[in-house]
Homo-oligomer: A and B are copies of this chain.
Amino acid sequence: MTISIAHLGPAGTNAETAAVAFANKLSQLGQKSLLCPYPSIAQTLWAVSQGQTNLAVVPVENSIEGSVTITLDTLWQLNTLQIQTALVLPISHGLISLAASFEEIKTVYSHPQALAQCQGWLEKFLPQVQQIPTSSTTEALQHLGNEASAAAIASERAAQLYQLPILIHPINDYPDNCTRFWVLQKGTTEPEKSALQVIIKSINKPENSIFTSLGFSVPANVPGALVKPLQVFAKREINMSRIESRPTKRLLGDYLFFIDIEADNNHNYVKAAIEELKSYTDILKIFGSYTIMAIN
């Protein structure tokens, strides 16, 4: 079986780097895989949800810029995907240009998150330059051929893939810059898909912490409506490693909550907590229990 993996393309994006690293782990187990680039994160998730691919690799959160909200919103809507594992990728940005020196650069292209992550550096070294957002760091590189006065911010790997010169690297303002990705599969009990779960589990080290991700809505405008769900975990001393609110898209001030707990949903005390949680939430969705892998 060849495992097909959807990711945000084209080649050279950080999502593709994460997917390649995951495919290498599968290869070490003798598993073949095939990378399938999609033009947006939403389309990447739809692809696995509709059975076009076996897995999807999507960014969830960056240590500087925070949540990738399209991932959370799409996961909530699709209702069918389960997280199999998480990957943590260190992120660094370089300034890529055919210009001979900084003085020649008039415009810098990159994804808005990458521009934001280099804002301090740009203000210090290229204060007069126009910053232009693109849909991916890779797309930014496409402008370099047309404009000698253009630069792009992208990874070293992207510069190498497209054989473009790196003027300076790294230029990100915060050195501890990482992005967390989720590897997702359509939730199912079919034997072939269960076999895939066994393969993914065997990559993970058993000593790693297990996390469970869930999402819920609470009754509107009830004082303390969010406190009761959180107490369910606090009183059992279950650590909540993350909470994120997202608008329900109905009314301003009406939210969904996404939380990660450091616990395995296959254990009885966690099952009991989630059972209790049902009485304090309107809609509750469990997105899976998984471990986190560091990749380089």
| Partner-B contacts on A (CB < 8 A) | 42, 61-66, 69-70, 88, 112, 116, 119, 131-135, 174, 176, 178, 180, 221-224, 226-227, 230-231, 233-235, 237-247, 249-253, 255
Contact residues in B for A233 (Cβ distance below 8 Å)? 223-224, 227
Apart from A226-B230, A227-B231, A243-B243, list 9 A-B contacts with CB within 8 A: A42-B119, A61-B252, A66-B245, A174-B250, A224-B233, A224-B237, A224-B239, A226-B240, A242-B253
Q: Main SS of the interface on chain A?
A: mixed
- Please judge, given known A-B contacts A61-B252, A223-B239, whether A66 and B234 are in contact too, CB under 8 Å: no
Complex copy number for this chain: 2
A-B contact pairs, 14 of them (CB 8 A): A64-B247, A66-B69, A88-B252, A133-B135, A174-B250, A178-B252, A221-B241, A224-B230, A224-B234, A224-B237, A226-B230, A227-B230, A242-B255, A243-B245
Closest beta carbon of chain B to A257's beta carbon, Å: 8
Q: State the Cβ distance, A119 to closest chain B Cβ, in Å.
A: 8
CB distance from A178 to the nearest CB of B (A): 5
CA distance A42 to B116 in the complex (A): 11
* With A66-B69, A70-B116, A245-B243: A223-B237 Cβ-Cβ less than 8 Å: yes
* Residues of chain B lying within 8 A (CB to CB) of residue A246: 66
Best-buried of A174, A251, A252 by chain B (most CB within 10 Å): A252
B-side contacts of A240, CB under 8 Å = 223-224, 226
| A221 CA / B243 CA spacing, docked (Å) | 13
